[in-house]
Amino acid sequence: MAQPGDGRSIGVFDSGVGGLTVLAELRRRLPQEPTVYLGDNARTPYGPRPADEVRRFTLESVDWLLSQDVKLLVLACNTATARALDDVRGRSDVPVVGVVRPGAVAAAAATRSRHVGVIATVGTVDSGAYPAAIVEADPATDVVQLACPELVPMAEAGILDGRRAESVLRAYLEPMLAADPAMDTLLLGCTHYPLLRGPIERIVGDRVAVVDSAFTTALAVEDLLDALGARAPRAPRDEASMHRVATTGDVNAFMTVAERLFGERLPQVEAIEIGVVAPLPVD
């Protein structure tokens, strides 16, 4: 269990690069906390995969993070949170924070019309996790979901702006906005999607608030560390030695996207192997 003055790392897991948006917020808000990040890029995207496969991949990745002696786990992947949060909590001997509830609370707080749109992966949409969590936060809220299967591969490929990104996003967002003119809040229900925030905000316009779970997840982690008395000591640290980043996929491809968020502050990326690379299901 986490101990007072606990200097161990916070473990952060995602199916790929998307969880770096959560990691960046954690590092901004909790600069004294060491972190270890794992992206399962070799098996991304998780969204189209069967629920059992998502659970297996998530547990394999979590086992690696737990072997790094972390004090707390953050599932910075919406699909993994929606499909495997209870399984991870049953497996873990340290606290586990998922990204669905913090994002849902943020959306419920942001909307004035009580019309919220959620864009997410197929797996997250099929789970129904976001509508349930948003309605739990505010039972009067009307929630519309849309699966956007092209967005994670696009983000993983580093296509974050420009004509291609805008064309794909417009094909998803414009019909959604037209179908519910009262929608005033759009929740990015995948941690890859904030990497596309610029074109998303241009398409939805000023009247629609765009929210994601990165900030509220960092707040939840901060509150939990305080409740446990498990903040890291505030002694001066060498930032380069405080943080580790690992991927099961191609290191250079990972770094291309990661450097947009961290620049020179990005630690050396480690290549690790977990499980077996499995083909995506065929529709």
To the query of whether residue 148 is one of the catalytic residues in this protein, the response is no
Residue type, 7: G
To the query of whether residue 77 is one of the catalytic residues in this protein, the response is yes
In sequence order, the 6+-apart residues with CB closer than 8 A to the CB of 259 are: 266
The DSSP secondary structure of 177-234, one letter per residue, reads HHH-TT--EEEE-STTGGGGHHHHHHHH-TTSEEE-SHHHHHHHHHHHHHHHT-PPP-
- Of 77, 134, 148, 196, the active-site residue reads 77
> Is 60 strand, coil or helix?
helix
Record the tokens describing residue 183, joined without a space. 């929608």
Sequence-ordered alpha helix ranges (H) in 67-128: 78-91, 100-110, 122-127
- Of 20, 108, 190, 257, the active-site residue reads 190
Record the tokens describing residue 105, joined without a space. 């609370």
Residues carrying an active site annotation: 77, 190
